[in-house]
Amino acid sequence: MCGIVGYIGAGKTTEVLLDSLGRLEYRGYDSAGIALVCEDGLEVIKSAERIVKLREKVPSTLYASVGIGHTRWATHGKPSKTNAHPHQDCSGRIAVVHNGIIENYQEIKRALEKRGHVFTSETDTEVISHLVEENYVDNTLRAILATVPKLQGSFAFALINKDDPGHIYAARKDSPLVIGLGEGQYFLASDVTAFLKYTKRAVFMEDGDIAILSKDGVTFTDFHGREIKRKERVIEWDLEAAEKAGYDHFMLKEIHEQPKSLKDVISGRLNELSGEVELGEIGLTQDEINGIRRVIIVACGTSYHAGLVGKYALEMLTDIPVTVEIGSEFRYSSSRVGPGTLIVALSQSGETADTAASVREAIKKGAHVVAITNTVGSTIARDAGNTIYMRSGPEIGVAATKTFTSQVTVMYMMAIFLGRRRGMITAEKARILLSELKSLPKYAQSVLDQDSNVANVARLYAKANLFLFVGRHLNYPIALEGALKLKEISYIFSEGFAAGELKHGPLALLTTGVPVVAIATRSPTYEKMTSNIKEIKARDASVIAVASESDESIAQLVDVVIRVPDASELISPVLSSIVLQLFAYHVAVCAGCPVDKPRNLAKSVTVE
């Protein structure tokens, strides 16, 4: 997804901008560019290739103390150098980088063209440069203030003006922007990873903010030009945490970080003595908890799968009906939401446009919204008001791994919390569940210790061109997630099914050797799963079973077994999901795929 950077200070501006853009590569992009205020005016350099190529185009002698940069992920107009940001006005005085979508850009563009403006790109962004140009007399801020009310949709933009060389201006509406505070130097980015190397002090812009960066500091106004104050925060992630730490890929590093991320997510939240989960972040009084009539979990992609696991857990431990909805569907069909509805918005990034829109929609309709996200200060966290942070640390690989298992863990904690508060589970039962949750990091580690076994299995099947994943009950969403993981990073067609659905269609896909990954750990549906495995074997397909350590009989039914520790019904799906992450990773490596940055995908999907 698009990334914005900006720098003002005495440092090497081009170096800082290019380095910061490199830190945003993980978001996915198709082109990149920078604009600098130089002695002779604005210098704009773009490339429709990777950032290394952009770097080659930047003369080493180029001096500037102010600049902005961008990585683009095409939404309006194809990926090309012309459509790459920054975009300029007719006079070449102004340069703009933008994330988001200006929904009324065609209308604005037509009007501007009638008034003589000449556009050079197909982007929606370019209207911002021309509008500011039109509104500019001698004060850039005033021109921006006159421009923003005309823009419909979402935007985060940064702007420089050659006639106002000492400033960067930035505006935010529904798309993230954060300022980095250094000593005599200031940074701007769509996420803190871009400038963490230089400073940990940050200010998150709010919707409706304009930031004015100069060498002397940063000031903020609202869209009416009234001065406002914003709080500084210290970011706890360091850059090292965002680097690979010796692993070949971020994804593998992140998979192996799960014992820690699982420990962090439960830390301080489980009280084994009282059998209570401390989740005050939910923001509900006891009366409100009693009044919950339904829970709707809203999410996309992997987060949606975590939501499905959450549904089973909530229904096992509470008396509340739960539905799970895909963000892009829910945002247009939320009429059943109202008082008594608890909306749980799951989003690792906290910036997924469809989930964010669903949250806004639900709030409008009077629902109580709780966000579960990994990103402090993200749009969804701030809009929801009530946020449970996953504390997973940065996840750079496009494929979600450690954030999935943390999301599931938060859903479990929420289910225990609500179950206790509504009197549906006893303190004794809760204590057992909490001690199981506490054992999760240790179990996760023993799954990871078998990484090389999983790699061997992956190598056996890496040449297949179709994979099926099957599971039942809590393991059904784990099958869906296993299939998503494999397809997104290895490009092999894979699909997940509820095992009971096989005979309603998917069995037709099975022929000799087609690999089927069956999650067959010990659980109340174990016997049913083994029947399904027999059905699959009767079609001569190959079965790779994920099974419990103590299950001696399964080996006779299947081709290959990958073991997970014997664990409870809630815990073992998390362990199986780690096996499937490793499996997908090793298949993708065998296939020579760019694991961390799969084609056509972005880490953070901030457009609809």
d(CA 529, CA 83): 52
Sheet of 341-347: strand order equals 322-326, 294-299, 341-347, 368-373, 386-389
Per CB under 6 A, the segment of 208-216, 221-229, 282-290, 297-305 that binds ligand M6R is 297-305
Binders of ligand M6R in range 462-521 (CB under 6 A): 484, 488
How many C-beta atoms lie closer than 10 Å to residue 495's C-beta? 17
Give the nearest distance from C-beta 384 to ligand M6R in angstroms. 13
From residue 254 to residue 293, what is the string marking binding to ligand M6R with x (rule CB under 6 A)? Answer: ----------------------------------------
Q: Name the amino acid, one letter, at 432.
A: I
* Position among 83, 140, 190, 302 found at the interface with ligand M6R (CB under 6 A): 302
Per CB under 6 A, the segment of 48-56, 92-100, 344-352, 386-394 that binds ligand M6R is 344-352
Q: Is the CB of residue 470 less than 8 Å from the CB of residue 532?
A: yes
Q: Is 398 in the site for ligand M6R (CB under 6 A)?
A: yes
* Of the candidates 465, 461, 489, the residue with the CA atom closest to the CA atom of residue 595: 489
Three-state DSSP class for residue 149 = helix
Nearer to ligand M6R, 83 or 355 (CB): 355
Q: 71 is written with which tokens? A: 């990585």
Q: CA angle, corner 95, sides to 92 and 100, nearest 5?
A: 140
Dihedral sign for Cα atoms in the order 176, 254, 304, 572: negative
Give the nearest distance from C-beta 407 to ligand M6R in angstroms. 8
Q: Is 405 in the site for ligand M6R (CB under 6 A)?
A: no
Give the nearest distance from C-beta 124 to ligand M6R in angstroms. 22
Three-state DSSP class for residue 337 = coil
Contacts of 98 (CB under 8 A, 6+ apart): 2, 4, 70, 85, 87, 124, 125, 128, 155, 156, 157
Q: Is 605 in the site for ligand M6R (CB under 6 A)?
A: yes
Give the nearest distance from C-beta 118 to ligand M6R in angstroms. 37
Q: Is 349 in the site for ligand M6R (CB under 6 A)?
A: yes
Per CB under 6 A, the segment of 193-201, 347-355, 413-421, 569-577 that binds ligand M6R is 347-355
Nearer to ligand M6R, 355 or 525 (CB): 355
Nearer to ligand M6R, 147 or 302 (CB): 302
Q: Is the CB of residue 596 less than 8 Å from the CB of residue 250?
A: yes
Give the nearest distance from C-beta 602 to ligand M6R in angstroms. 8
Q: Is 303 in the site for ligand M6R (CB under 6 A)?
A: yes
Give the nearest distance from C-beta 488 to ligand M6R in angstroms. 6
Nearer to ligand M6R, 401 or 475 (CB): 401
Per CB under 6 A, the segment of 198-206, 349-357, 521-529, 573-581 that binds ligand M6R is 349-357
Binders of ligand M6R in range 58-87 (CB under 6 A): none
Q: What residues act catalytically?
A: 2, 603
Q: Where do we find the tokens 């206790």?
A: 420
Nearer to ligand M6R, 394 or 565 (CB): 394
Give the nearest distance from C-beta 599 to ligand M6R in angstroms. 13
Nearer to ligand M6R, 479 or 541 (CB): 479
Q: Is the CB of residue 364 less than 8 Å from the CB of residue 392?
A: no
Q: Is 355 in the site for ligand M6R (CB under 6 A)?
A: yes
* Of the candidates 257, 303, 251, the residue with the CA atom closest to the CA atom of residue 594: 251
Q: Name the burial class of residue 62, with classes exposed (0-12), middle (13-18) and buried (19+) by CB atoms within 10 angstroms of its CB.
A: middle
* Position among 83, 185, 261, 348 found at the interface with ligand M6R (CB under 6 A): 348
- Please state the length of the chain: 608
d(CA 32, CA 9): 22
Give the nearest distance from C-beta 330 to ligand M6R in angstroms. 13
Three-state DSSP class for residue 90 = coil
Q: Is 399 in the site for ligand M6R (CB under 6 A)?
A: yes
d(CA 415, CA 425): 10
Q: CA angle, corner 224, sides to 219 and 228, nearest 5?
A: 35
d(CA 217, CA 346): 36
* Position among 301, 394, 441, 565 found at the interface with ligand M6R (CB under 6 A): 301
Q: Is 400 in the site for ligand M6R (CB under 6 A)?
A: yes
Nearer to ligand M6R, 18 or 306 (CB): 306
Q: Is 300 in the site for ligand M6R (CB under 6 A)?
A: yes
Residue nearest to ligand M6R (CB): 301
Q: Name the amino acid, one letter, at 390.
A: M
The CA-based diameter of the chain, rounded to the nearest angstrom, is 81
Chain residues that interact with ligand M6R, rule: CB under 6 A: 300-303, 347-349, 352, 355, 398-400, 484, 488, 604-605
